[in-house]
Structure 1
Amino acid sequence: MSQVCPHAYDWDPRDEQTLQDQIAAYDTMRKQCPVAHSEYLHWSVFRHAEAVRILNDHETFSSQVSSHVSVPNGMDPPEHTSFRQLIEPYFGPEAMADFKPACEAIAQNLVGNLGLGPIDIMAQVAHPYALEVQCAFMGWPTTLHQPLRNWIRKNHEATLSKDRAAISRVAQEFDGYMLTLINERRRAGAQAPDDTTTRLTHEQVNGRPLSDPELISILRNWTVGELSTIAASVGILAHYLAARPALQDQLRAKPELLPPAIDEILRIHAPLIANRRIATRPVALGGRHLEAGDRISILWASANRDETVFGDPDEFHPDRDSSLNLLYGAGIHVCPGAPLARMELKLIMESLLACTQRFELASGQVPVRARYPGSGYTSLILQVF
């Protein structure tokens, strides 16, 4: 395959071999066809340089990829700027300090109840942790846990199938949950709980209250990002450390090394596969010609492993230049929830390391890899000592 990939479709992201090991498949594409065309993902960008170029040029590569409201992910300036200013304080230092004790308690309770022997880290820690932390942060009742678990599964299946009717049904179901929570707080008035969801219902942007679609979009974006990527991250981190007992011991002895180690492990194996953009005008990108309206997928899981930036992508260097790591994106759309995600991952890994002497991959148990649009693992059996 040539560097310019002249074929109508250069690859199939849903090919069974690709889905069995997405990271390896993207490594191959990055070297052979760094900007590739497919029916499923349209134009896919595999290299770091093109990814950064897109992230820093919202005028050419717009985030307005959908006709549905998406706050602030699917917005460009100046609209994006106003909503971003509204959202950022929810993840500021004071908010994180206030939420840390609740987050820490959830982590310690989950890990403390594991016991010894084989465990499925995804079912027993990763997914429950992401769900419980999200509900606690938003102020949602425990009765929402199971409906949200079911919704995550249905959302994943609908996204993978690209069945528009199924995607619409799943979206409407989530919107119904969120609208119920919003209206409950409105009816409660001054008696509404002082939580994140209540505070959002009182927010204004450009001098007006947030509309219901805007509120629901914020809650959806935060929830989907939290439940899927945090769970995937916990599994990826646990798998990486399970195979490296010396690194486990080092991090147990010096937990202050966890933050850069976590970011580096998640650079090596991304918890989020891709994000979308749309070209606003004809543009050359990585030797390919794109027209206005062409859709683009930024493959984080490839760009963060680019050999021209990171050398051997599998080498663990937690002291490398953190500005190169696209784990939380870059530019004006860098993830506003990064402080919360980093705190959550640090606390759960601290608990896992503190409550165990060691953990390793269970003998005879093959980890089950997640398939696009997911990343990480759907099942990961560890032996805990």
Structure 2
Amino acid sequence: MFRRLGGLRRMTLSDTRIPGEIAANLVDPAAYADARIHDSYRWLRANAPLSVAEPDGFDPFWVVTRHADILEISRQNGLFLSGARSPTLVSADVDAKVRAAMGGSPHLLRTLIHMDAPDHPKYRAMTQAWFMPQNLRGLEDRIRQIARTSVDKMLATGGECDFVRQVALHYPLHVVMEILGVPEEDEPRMLTLTQELFGAADPELSRKDAPPPDPMAALSQGVIADFYAYFSRLSADRRANPRGDLASVIANSQVDGQPISELEAMSYYIIVATAGHDTTSSSTGGALWALAERPGELAKLQADPSLIPGLVEESIRWTTPVKTFMRTVAEDTEFEGRKLAKNDWMMLCYASGNRDESVFEDPDEFRVDRKPNKQLAFGYGAHLCLGQHLARMEMRILWEELIPRLKTLELAGEPKMSQATFVNGPKTLPIRFTIQ
């Protein structure tokens, strides 16, 4: 099925190859900011749900677009690996640069998303208790205070604001930074670095001292180095003066009786300080965007607040902040009638799975009362999102505080999505509203 050309693996069966235009969309950050990616996913689910993309500048990869296939691959963590190659989409050139910089490793960081067993469960266990529902219940009152303050600031704008820039970005950021132990005065810095990390391919969000066509430059030369510098100081302080925060847990953790390495500690800080709030911000912004366009759905919530948990699940499905993860085949195998070879790369398209017509009725409709809602945005299996319960709680509390106070809601301009193939969501959301 495969032959080698110039040291790169190339697929040779024409019936597995995705048309060039669709393959190009899969690797184009701008396609994730408009409807093109969903058009491509729709075609793939109908015509080539497990097939090969060969876009220019990238190693070939299998593209997985159906809900059931994504779940099955996620369940088989020993066969479909996270750590063998990059778990996020990178070009062949960027992959080569990372390996050169990291002594052959394909990873700039070593977070939970870069790990497989036996390391993954050990490092996940370090902080898992912090994110379990029984522990989070003790934080609910404080989170509600933060939510109420955020809503008060929004309502004080006089009826018009950019919801993403004034609420959605800052509310979950403040919650996570308080849990982590980052001082409030440092939150703007954390937000900027997060946007530069996840928005490296977006001209409006990327670091300005690196050319936009090369996001690798922004990452290696600036963003990660700045994160390292900040969290190295924080970690040293927490080792000397432990507190009751997550930073102290990370700073003083051991695995197999030994302190974790600096790379693993810094990676842990970075994943909590970025993914811990950015994905929640995206789902929150996506929810209000959908409600602003659908007054009937807002009316349902106003009439029956018990639908708010359903709003949370639908916003997660609708936005799907983590658009893709990559997996690597551990050994020659067969999946859904396709022969996969060891070291083949696979793209799991979560945003496609969340609009799979075989699972969701009218998947392109936003319904706050959708039942059942088998959204898979948090992943599945061993890599199920560590912060899923916190994210749900934050969103539920925010809507409990905001929706009863809203009378009307509409868009006041054109919203924009960020450009990224990995994590994206609304970056501007101008709204106009009246209150009860």
What is the TM-score with the length of structure 1 in the denominator?
0.89
8 Å CA contact retained: 1:36, 1:43:
yes
Structure 1 residues 52 and 3: CA distance shift in structure 2, 3 A = farther
CA distance in 2, matches of 1:337, 1:15: 25
Per-residue deviation at 1:28? 2.9
| Partner Cα distance (1:351, 1:241) in 2 | 16
Which stretch has the larger CA shift, 335-344 or 220-229? 220-229
Rounded to whole Å, the distance in 1 between the matches of 2:170 and 2:32 is: 28
- CA offsets per residue over residues 85-144 of structure 1, 9 Å max, x none? 222101123321222222211111111122332211111111111321221121211221
What residue is the counterpart of 1:27 in the other structure? 42
Residue 217 of structure 1, CA deviation: 1.6
Larger CA deviation: 81-90 vs 341-350: 81-90
Within 2, Cα distance between the matches of 1:219 and 1:248? Answer: 37
1:56 pairs with 2:75: yes
Q: Is 1:366 matched up with 2:419?
A: no
Identify which of 324, 327, 331 aligns with 1:277. 327
Q: Are 1:379 and 2:428 matched, yes or no?
A: yes
SS at match of 1:140: coil
- Which range moved further: 287-296 or 174-183? 287-296
Write the letter of the residue equivalent to 2:418.
Answer: A
Structure 2: which amino acid aligns with 1:47? R
Q: How many Å separate the matches in 2 of 1:6 and 1:379? A: 33
Aligned to 1:178: 231
Given the superposition, is the C-alpha separation of residues 184 and 276 from structure 1 closer, same or farther in structure 2, using an over 3 Å criterion? same
Contact 2:42–2:352 (Cα < 8 Å) also in 1? yes
Task: Tell me, yes or no, if the aligned pair for 1:329 and 1:335 is still in contact at 8 Å.
Answer: yes
Q: Which amino acid aligns with 2:135?
A: A
Aligned residues of 2:176 and 2:276 also touching (Cα < 8 A): yes
Q: 2:278 aligns with which of 223, 228, 247?
A: 228
**2:146 aligned partner:** 106
Query: Aligned partners of 1:159, 1:286: CA distance in 2, in Å?
Result: 34
- Secondary structure in 1 matching 2:233: helix
| Residue in structure 1 matched with residue 395 of structure 2 by the alignment | 345
Q: Is the 8 A contact 1:261 1:318 kept in 2?
A: yes
Corresponding pairs, count? 378
Which residue is 2:168 aligned to? 126
> 1:331 aligns to what?
381
Output the CA distance in 1 between the equivalents of 2:64 and 2:247.
36
CA distance in 2, matches of 1:18, 1:138: 30
Do the aligned partners of 2:18 and 2:53 also contact (CA within 8 Å) in 1? Answer: no
Aligned partners of 1:259 and 1:18: how far apart in 2?
A: 27
Aligned AA (2:163):
I
Displacement of 1:285 after TM fit?
Answer: 4.3
* Cα deviation code 1:219-272 (max 9, x no counterpart): 211222123211111110101122222322332343332113311232133122
Q: Check conservation: 1:102, 1:136, Cα contact below 8 A.
A: no
Partner residue in 2 for 1:320? 371
Picking from 34, 53, 63, the partner of 1:37 is: 53
Per mean C-alpha deviation after superposition, the further-off stretch among 99-108 and 206-215 is 206-215
**Contact 1:10-1:36 within 8 A present in 2 as well:** no
Letter matched to residue 378 of structure 1 = K
In structure 2, the CA distance between the partners of 1:369 and 1:286, relative to structure 1 (3 Å rule), is farther
SS in 2 for 1:70: coil
Residues 288, 252 of structure 1: CA spacing in aligned structure 2 closer, same or farther, 3 A cutoff? same
- Provide closer, same or farther for how the CA distance between residues 287 and 269 of structure 1 changes in structure 2, counting only shifts above 3 A: farther
Q: Helix, strand or coil for the counterpart of 1:135? A: helix
Distance 1:286 1:10 in 2: 21
Q: 1:313 to 1:358 in 2, by over 3 A?
A: same
CA offsets per residue over residues 313-372 of structure 1, 9 Å max, x none? Answer: 1243745345x321211111111211101011111122221332232222xx22212222
1:168 aligns with 2:187: no
Aligned counterparts, 1:232-247, within 5 A: 232-247=282-297
Using a 3 Å threshold, how does the CA distance of structure 1 residues 317 and 341 change in structure 2: closer, same or farther? closer
Quick one: distance in 2 between partners of 1:305 and 1:79? Answer: 33
Aligned equivalents of 1:356, 1:319: Cα separation in 2: 22
RMSD: 2.5
Deviation at 1:199, TM superposition (A): 2.6
Query: What does residue 4 of structure 2 align with?
Result: none
Q: For 1:37 and 1:290, locate their aligned partners in 2 and report how far apart those are by CA, in whole Å.
A: 14
2:16 counterpart SS class? coil
Letter in 2 for 1:146: P
Aligned in 2, Cα 1:44/1:332: closer, same or farther, shift over 3 Å?
Answer: same
Identical-pair percentage: 28
